[in-house]
Amino acid sequence: MIYGSTRSENKDVKSSEAIIKGIAHDGGLYIPLNIPKIDRELGELKKLDYKELAFYILKKYLTDFDDQELIDCINNAYDDKFDNYDIVPVENRGTVNFMELYHGPTLAFKDMALTILPHFMKTAAKKLDINKEIVILTATSGDTGKAALEGFANVTGVRIIVFYPKDGVSEIQKRQMITQKGENTHVVGIDGNFDDAQNAVKEIFGDRDFNNRLNDKGYIFSSANSINIGRLVPQIVYYIYGYLNLLNKNEIKEKEKINIVVPTGNFGNILAAYYAKMMGLPINKLICASNENKILTDFINTGIYDINREFKTTVSPSMDILISSNLERLLYHISMNNYDKIKSFMEDLKNNGVYEVDESIKHNLKDFYGAFATEQETYETIKNVYEELSYVIDPHTAVAYNVYKKYIKQTEDNNTKTLIASTASPFKFTRTVYTAIDGKSDYDDFRLIDMLAEKTSIDVPKSILELKKKEILHKNTCKRNNIKNTVEKILGL
């Protein structure tokens, strides 16, 4: 398996180098140049547990890792850090199935990839004989930050720096990050939004002079964001696992097509589902759910990507994004690998804040359905799902369910079994969830956690119970235009 850039030909690399570099030499993203196929019967694969399936899928993408290296990475990632034996349980509610991706240490779907990425990196660095300290530079809209910090804390030879919008994450998300232990961890709140942080991180990766100076000082940059192919590939596994779960429960027949609904901002999570479809998983429609920052909805429906709009801070903060980095990878694939087009689109986006794809690319978006949920609809959906389905969901999953209902109303596709990516524990967004269910939230977040548990008869996750007692260790903040200087200060440059 060889990886190339979305923006130019040649410079092809193996998976270990793509994982360490994070972003390609030309600012593009690494993509697999050939998508492997599922070459075993689904009826046979359904007998595998999560770790066995992960080995089967990851071996197709990380071909320069030997079997034992992959097995070690998988076993170190998917162990008792997860509070459910299945790793990814699926809750059935009629034709809808909620694939719970939040049973890891930070209670969000990011754990599925970020518990294994540090092990990929350690293995890759050894393979490439890298003796420099790897600096993980990451922007987060809430969940990636904590999951990355948890995964890389105290990993030898690695330092991690996380930037987050200090007024754009939930109180629980913020507390998870600023209490993170580990001598190699650094957390900085910025006065801007996620896009500001993400753009600054991308610029740093593309600054050759800065990277050369870093190299001279014994450092090498990499990323834990979903721009890193090592983040994206493990996410493919859980969509295939979710399908096999339905097969095992006789919810579907072998080769029966399902819909998959994903709440997404940076497009990485739904792109992994698209890769699963390209590998041969029977998927009917990929339903892309957005909040009021509905740039992906507009793009899917018009072919125009335009960031010249108001940025909104919502109750589903992990989706408060206007520049969806992983869309670049999709565009590469559906443009028939036309890197010149992709480079042109990205230049238009950088210079004018907008680009429009041609008719052939618009046609190739047919696998996707896009819609969005308003803030009011998000609250109403949490309440309705609780009352009608006896199930508690976080605001991101609520966005997904609301958009799924819109899809049914618009298409009358009532019969296709559907898998909804449930991306975070409701206890990460307690204020929103409790307000939606009960209407009262005049308490601090930790009191609301106890109240939500009492009202819904759901046990509070252990990591949340411990959070209130943890000492705040990271108090640094910076202006949005001062991120590079902050990195220099942290690294002592």
Q: What is the tens place of the pLDDT at every residue in 147-189?
A: 999 999 999 899 999 999 998 888 899 999 999 999 999 999 9
CA distance 482 to 199: 12
The pLDDT of residue 390:
94
Read off the pLDDT band of 11 (50, 70, 90): confident
**How many whole angstroms from its chain centre is CA 139?**
12
What is the pTM assigned to this prediction?
0.94
Domain holding 323, by residue range, is 90-108+230-467
Residue 468 or 390, more confident: 390
Position with higher pLDDT, 141 vs 133? 133
Q: What values do phi and psi take at 175, rounded to 5?
A: -65, -35
pLDDT tens-digit map of 56-78:
999 999 999 999 999 999 999 99
Residue 264 belongs to a domain:
yes
Per-residue pLDDT tens for 292-320?
A: 999 999 999 999 999 999 999 999 999 99
Give dist(CA 455, CA 107) in Å, integer. 20
In the predicted model, is pLDDT for residue 250 greater than 90?
Answer: yes
Q: What is the mean pLDDT of the chain?
A: 95
Cα-Cα end-to-end distance for the chain? 37
Residue 208's pLDDT is what? Answer: 87
| Lowest-pLDDT choice from 129-143, 304-318, 332-346 | 129-143
Distance CA(288)–CA(370), nearest Å, equals 5
307 within some domain: yes
110 as an active site residue: the answer is yes
Transcribe 327-340 into DSSP letters.
HHHHHHHHTTS-HH
The DSSP element (H or E) to which 135 belongs, if any, is: strand 133-139
- CATH code for the domain of 362: 3.40.50.1100
Q: Do residues 3 and 64 lie in contact, with contact meaning Cβ atoms separated by under 8 Å?
A: no
CA–CA dist 348, 352 (Å, integer)? 5
Q: What is the pLDDT of residues 426-456, one digit of tens each?
A: 999 999 999 999 998 888 889 999 999 999 9
Cα 272 → chain centroid: 9
In a domain, 395, yes or no: yes
Other residues' Cβ atoms within 10 Å of the Cβ of residue 78: 22
- Which H helix or E strand runs over 151? helix 143-152
* Token output for 319: 């989706």
Total number of domains constituting the chain: 1
pLDDT attached to residue 424: 96
Question: Does 55 reside within a domain?
Answer: no
How many C-beta neighbours within 10 Å does residue 33 have?
11
Q: Is residue 308 part of a domain?
A: yes
- 21, 60, 110, 341: which one is catalytic? 110
**pLDDT of residue 17 exceeding 90:** yes
5, 53, 346, 437 from 397: Cα distances, Å: 32, 25, 30, 15
Between the CA of residue 160 and those of 134, 152, 187, what are the distances in Å? Answer: 8, 7, 8
Q: Over 80: is that where the pLDDT of 7 sits? A: yes
Please calculate the CA angle 66-273-350 and round it to the nearest 5 degrees: 100
* In-domain check, residue 416: yes
Name the band, by pLDDT with cuts 50, 70 and 90, for residue 136. very high
Over residues 188-195, mean pLDDT: 93
In the chain, what percentage of residues exceed pLDDT 70?
100
- Which positions ≥6 away from 447 have C-beta within 8 Å? none
Helix (H, G, I), strand (E, B) or coil at 356: strand
393 found inside a domain: yes
Tell me the pairing of strands 96-100 and 90-93. Answer: antiparallel
pLDDT of residue 206: 85
Q: Is 153 a member of any domain?
A: no
Q: Under DSSP, is residue 113 helix (H, G, I), strand (E, B) or coil? A: helix
CB-based burial label for 223 (10 Å; 0-12, 13-18, 19+): buried
